[in-house]
Amino acid sequence: MEIIPTSIPDLLILKPVIYTDQRGFFMETFHQKKYRKAGIKYDFVQDNHSGSVNGTLRGLHYQVKHAQGKLVRVVSGEIFDVAVDLRRKSTTFGQWLGLTLSSENKHQLWIPPGFAHGFYTLSGWAEVLYKATDFYSPDHERTIRWNDPTLKIEWPIVSYENLLISEKDLKGSFLLDAEVYE
């Protein structure tokens, strides 16, 4: 596994070793000892799987208590994945990272606790799997607006007219008004 650092410390791109032959491919999607050696020293307690049609935008989600670290990958299709640092004392507070995750590149993104997460579906259909370090807690879930002018996220949105986004995500907070991590 290759560990690719990003412009935001603690966010890591994980590129697995993929073994291919005439039958197809094989790869490890999680190996606790290797991930711990890479600095991901959390226990995962929940796996989530979502499917989204083209033009769907989900997020930016986070939990103010029971903060979740997420190990994200795509098993079908392609997404533009975004993580935003919400750790107020971090030197990268309010900065975001966006990258393409796909079933083709098989990369994973490690998003530690203290970040908001969201994605935009680029392909006709995409299935996203992610492991979480804490359980979903609806009472503590919060949303930052995907189009917050402070963040200036450069989403690769093809058509705003056809954007699919939940009512909850449309009503998210602006970063300057949001409850974040101290």
Q: Tens of pLDDT along the chain (182 residues)? A: 999 999 998 999 999 999 999 999 999 999 999 999 999 999 999 999 999 999 999 999 999 999 999 999 999 999 999 999 999 999 999 999 999 999 999 999 999 999 999 999 999 999 999 999 999 999 999 999 999 999 999 999 988 999 999 999 999 999 999 999 87
What is the rounded CA–CA span in Å between residue 15 and residue 33? 16
Domain boundaries, the chain: 2-177
Phi then psi for residue 10, to 5 deg, are: 85, -25
pLDDT at residue 148, as a whole number: 97
140 part of the active site? no
Q: Which of 62, 120, 130, 181 is catalytic?
A: 130
Give, in words, the CATH class of 2-177: mainly beta
Q: Which of 61, 117, 120, 181 is catalytic?
A: 61
Residue 120 pairs in a beta bridge with 57, 80
Q: To the nearest 10°, the Cα dihedral for 26, 27, 32, 34? A: 130
pLDDT at residue 67, as a whole number: 97
pLDDT at residue 43, as a whole number: 96
pLDDT at residue 142, as a whole number: 98
Phi then psi for residue 170, to 5 deg, are: -65, -25
